[in-house]
Amino acid sequence: MKDKKKIVKKETKEKGPAFVFPMSLLNPIGHFLSARLHELNKRKKEVEKDDPFKDKDRLLDNASPDSDAAEQFGHEKTNAIKHELENKIKQTKNALGRLRKGKYGLCEDCGKIIDTERLSVYPEATVCTACQAKREK
């Protein structure tokens, strides 16, 4: 069986030593991320349906200004939620891509292993906490 229980060390030209996690560890993460992507896409469709501007009857309705304000607020709220969901979808797709390439769990900036506690809370993480702190400065 090719799948080893230990972390395999692999040399890279760009950033020195890197690590490849065993497939027995990555497969469940891949399933989790795929299910999460499905749920995010489903939620995005639900949010888009709730957008008051998508209601065809609203164009025929001569609503009072307070109704227009409520529709505008609902539309802005829907757009904000949709934008956040799109960001999460993008991050999840990125994590799945990194998983397929064998780079999941490795920091994009320094190449070191991302702390497993960080990955358990934020499985889409692409940088370690130290590099994230540098990016935020």
Whether residue 3 has pLDDT greater than 70? no
Whether residue 66 has pLDDT greater than 60? no
pLDDT of residue 7: 41
Whether residue 71 has pLDDT greater than 60? yes
- Residue 37 contacts residue 44 (beta carbons within 8 Å): no
Whether residue 10 has pLDDT greater than 90? no
Look up residue 85 and give its two tokens.
């969901």
- Residue 90 contacts residue 42 (beta carbons within 8 Å): no
- Residue 53 contacts residue 75 (beta carbons within 8 Å): yes
Whether residue 42 has pLDDT greater than 70? yes
Give tens-digit pLDDT for 75-98. 888 889 999 999 999 999 999 999
% of residues, the chain, pLDDT over 90: 50
Query: Does an H or E element contain 19, and which?
Result: strand 16-20
Residue range 44-59: mean pLDDT, rounded? 77
Q: Using the structure block, give the residue that is written with the tokens 């760009």.
A: 14
d(CA 93, CA 88): 9
Question: Is pLDDT larger for residue 110 or for residue 19?
Answer: 110
- Residue 104 contacts residue 126 (beta carbons within 8 Å): no
pLDDT of residue 61: 57
pLDDT tier for residue 64 given thresholds of 50, 70 and 90: low
- For the beta carbon of residue 5, count every other beta carbon within 10 angstroms: 8
- Residue 107 contacts residue 126 (beta carbons within 8 Å): yes
Identify the structural domains of the chain with CATH numbers, from first to last.
Answer: 8-136 (1.20.120.910)
% of residues, the chain, pLDDT over 70: 75
d(CA 31, CA 49): 27
